[in-house]
């Protein structure tokens, strides 16, 4: 009986060894050479480098402005030929570019109105949140809104009769005033961006933290624009001996009102710093509105002074 049992065990052992060999042979066979894809990333068209250069301004005519509502690009953005990210780019614009837009069927896209009936499309997230205020306050051109009416030709000059050289006869003074005017144009444009951003507080309270951050960024930029303008005014002051009494008075007013504008900016920044998440902001937003009114009044006064200097 024992030999029979030993024979059966030997057969089973040989069979197991045979199976193991077959498995080893099967594993050792070369695997088919197929490409292995691990974590394949699809390129996002919105993140690709722009195939076209930035443009400083878009072609917009009066008809386009009447069809659209004025907003500003929140950051560098692309305008597409169709409301899809994989559509071709029509324009590439820097932050702060003025756009006249209309709503589309998708809340994620807006139609940008261009001259001669043409249009492009921009993502809603790339534009300022302050649509309502921008639409309400921007019915006039930026410069026309701030430029005072020209002085009547029969109005007497308030000069004192001393050093009344016409700026046109002094090239250094003329160049300094032109530089100051260019710097002031930057201040005017930045004020419009800041005002549009402030209008975001009229929207949904859930969006206020994002509006606060955007407003703070525009506030810092406004401070830089005013600093550059102040330096340009210093350049005009160096040649004030060639100005008429009226022009010198206007220069002094411009300097004083620029200081007032800076005070309004500092006060607004203090209020923004108090806007902590989870707290009530209504009183601080009201205070910001007052500071924005102070800033707008100061810039209007500077615009009138610049007109008198020129």
Beta bridge partners of 77: 93
pLDDT number for residue 33:
47
Task: Write the CATH number for 249.
Answer: 1.20.120.330
> In this structure, is residue 303 part of a structural domain?
yes
Same domain, 137 and 274: yes
Same domain, 279 and 209: yes
Cα–Cα distance for residue pair 259/234, rounded to 1 Å: 13
Same domain, 119 and 69: yes
Domain end call among 73, 104, 127: 127
Same domain, 137 and 272: yes
Same domain, 107 and 66: yes
Task: Write the CATH number for 84.
Answer: 2.30.30.40
Same domain, 92 and 234: no
> In this structure, is residue 159 part of a structural domain?
no
Same domain, 95 and 209: no
> In this structure, is residue 261 part of a structural domain?
yes
Same domain, 136 and 275: yes
Same domain, 116 and 136: no
Same domain, 169 and 297: yes
Same domain, 116 and 181: no
Domain end call among 101, 127, 153: 127
> In this structure, is residue 154 part of a structural domain?
no
Beta bridge partners of 71: 99
Q: Which domain holds residue 95?
A: 46-127
Total number of domains constituting the chain? 2
> In this structure, is residue 200 part of a structural domain?
yes
Same domain, 119 and 173: no
Task: Say if CB 107 and CB 173 are below 8 A apart.
Answer: no
> In this structure, is residue 158 part of a structural domain?
no
Task: Say if CB 268 and CB 295 are below 8 A apart.
Answer: yes
pTM of this prediction? 0.51
Domain end call among 127, 155, 187: 127
Query: pLDDT (tens digit, 0 to 9) for every residue of the chain, 310 residues total?
Result: 555 555 555 555 555 555 544 444 444 444 444 443 333 334 344 444 445 777 767 888 888 888 988 888 887 889 999 998 888 888 888 887 888 888 888 888 989 999 888 999 999 888 874 544 444 444 334 444 444 444 443 343 434 434 444 444 688 888 888 889 988 988 888 888 888 888 888 888 888 998 899 899 989 999 999 999 999 999 898 888 888 888 889 999 999 999 999 999 999 999 999 999 989 999 999 999 999 999 989 998 899 888 888 6
> In this structure, is residue 279 part of a structural domain?
yes
> In this structure, is residue 37 part of a structural domain?
no
Residue of 286, 163, 265, 173 whose CA lies nearest to 221: 265
């Amino acid at each position: 009986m024992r030999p029979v049992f030993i024979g059966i065990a030997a057969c089973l052992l040989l069979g197991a060894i045979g199976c193991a060999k077959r498995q080893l042979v099967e594993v050792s066979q070369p695997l088919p050479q197929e490409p292995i894809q691990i974590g394949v990333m699809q390129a996002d068209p919105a993140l690709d480098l722009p195939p076209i250069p930035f443009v400083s301004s878009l072609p917009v005519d009066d008809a386009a402005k009447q069809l659209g509502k004025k907003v500003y690009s929140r950051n560098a953005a692309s305008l597409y030929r169709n409301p899809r990210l994989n559509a071709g780019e029509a324009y590439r614009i820097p932050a702060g570019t003025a756009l006249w837009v209309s709503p589309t069927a998708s809340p994620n896209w807006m139609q940008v109105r261009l001259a001669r009936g043409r249009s492009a499309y921009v993502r809603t997230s790339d534009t300022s949140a302050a649509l309502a205020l921008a639409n309400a306050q921007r019915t006039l051109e930026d410069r026309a809104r701030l430029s005072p009416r020209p002085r009547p030709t029969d109005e007497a000059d308030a000069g004192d009769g001393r050093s009344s050289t016409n700026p046109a006869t002094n090239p250094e003074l003329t160049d300094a005033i032109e530089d100051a005017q260019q710097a002031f144009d930057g201040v005017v444009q930045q004020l419009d961006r800041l005002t549009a951003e402030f209008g975001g507080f009229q929207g949904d309270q859930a969006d206020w933290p994002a509006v606060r951050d955007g407003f703070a960024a525009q506030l810092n930029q406004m401070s830089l624009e005013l600093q550059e303008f102040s330096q340009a005014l210093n350049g005009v002051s160096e040649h004030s001996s060639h100005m008429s009494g009226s022009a010198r008075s206007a220069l002094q007013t411009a300097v004083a009102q620029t200081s007032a504008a800076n005070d309004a900016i500092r006060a607004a920044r203090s209020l923004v710093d108090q806007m902590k998440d989870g707290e009530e902001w209504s009183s601080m937003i009201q205070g910001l509105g007052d500071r924005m009114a102070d800033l707008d009044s100061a810039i209007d006064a500077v615009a009138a002074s610049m007109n008198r200097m020129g």
